[in-house]
Amino acid sequence: MKNDSASLLLNRQRSSGLLAVDALNQYYGGSHTLRGITLSLEQGKVTTLLGRNGVGKTTFLKCLMGLLPVASGKVLLSGQDITKLPAYKRAALGMAYVPQGREIFPRLTVEENIQMGLANGKASRGVPEYVFEMFPVLRDMLRRRGGDLSGGQQQQLAIARALTMRPKLLILDEPTEGIQPSIIKDIERAIRKLAASGEMAILLVEQYYDFAQSLADHYAVMARGEIIKAGPGSEMQAENVRSLVAI
């Protein structure tokens, strides 16, 4: 069941979908890196994108954010075609991206890192209070440099910076990578709370299967640059999704 399942999922969600990706193709040199990707993300729902290393997950996210060009296909945000928009315009429209590796500014303080999220024009509204409610450790570390934080604290900081944008869509690339279990639980609770608020759609790219399954309202599995299986998160165990992503 390759793109057929993803197409059915897109059709079911199109009426309520915040983001719709239709038949997206991308090439790197002579390699066909993304092959007809079709996916839809719903407001207030978590969609988990799983797959082994090197199948194109991060490439797909960079195409969504306008960091890489696409050869064909469409990306629609709230019905608006954003396929050719640059990354800064997508951010201004409400797309927030937490990349793999976090990419915080190590020489800036925690406060300065968080304030970078206000660069999309929402500075007058300030940092949302719920950012510190979700990650209270950051409030106690506002004056510390980002590079002095632990890996887990840096991940919380990267998510907090994205949330300061008040996004419609939050994209998380491998948020549990290299993170201690206690902070993974904190991040899981934060994602669950954000989805329950109904204020944004969340796309979670993850290799940690149990974490992904616990949060998934919908799931999709990538292999060799295409979606090979997709469906409701409640069906992941029955569909033996774990076997498709096991290394």
How much is the pLDDT for 4? 52
Closest CA to 51 of 174, 172, 171, 170: 174
Percent of the chain past pLDDT 70, that is, above it, reads: 91
How much is the pLDDT for 29? 87
Instruction: Take residue 154 and report the two structure tokens written for it.
Output: 């840096």
Confidence tier at 16 by pLDDT (50, 70, 90):
low
Q: Which domains can be identified in the chain, with CATH numbers?
A: 42-69+86-245 (3.40.50.300)
pLDDT in tens, 187-210: 999 999 999 999 999 999 998 899
Mean pLDDT on 97-107: 91
The contacts of residue 240 (CB under 8 Å, 6+ apart) are none
**Rounded CA separation 7/169 (Å):** 21
Closest CA to 156 of 143, 166, 165, 146: 146
Dihedral (Cα; 203, 206, 212, 218), 10-degree rounding:
40
pLDDT in tens, 131-148: 999 999 999 999 999 999
Q: Which residue has the higher pLDDT, 76 or 129?
A: 76
Confidence tier at 247 by pLDDT (50, 70, 90):
low
Torsions phi, psi for 66 (to 5 deg): 80, 15
Average pLDDT, the chain: 90
Give CA angle at 185 (182, 188), nearest 5°: 155
Burial (CB count within 10 angstroms: exposed 0-12, middle 13-18, buried 19+), residue 238: exposed
Mean pLDDT on 56-85: 96
Confidence tier at 117 by pLDDT (50, 70, 90):
confident
Please report where in the chains the tokens 């949330």 appear, as a residue: 163
Does the predicted model carry a pTM greater than 0.85?
Answer: yes
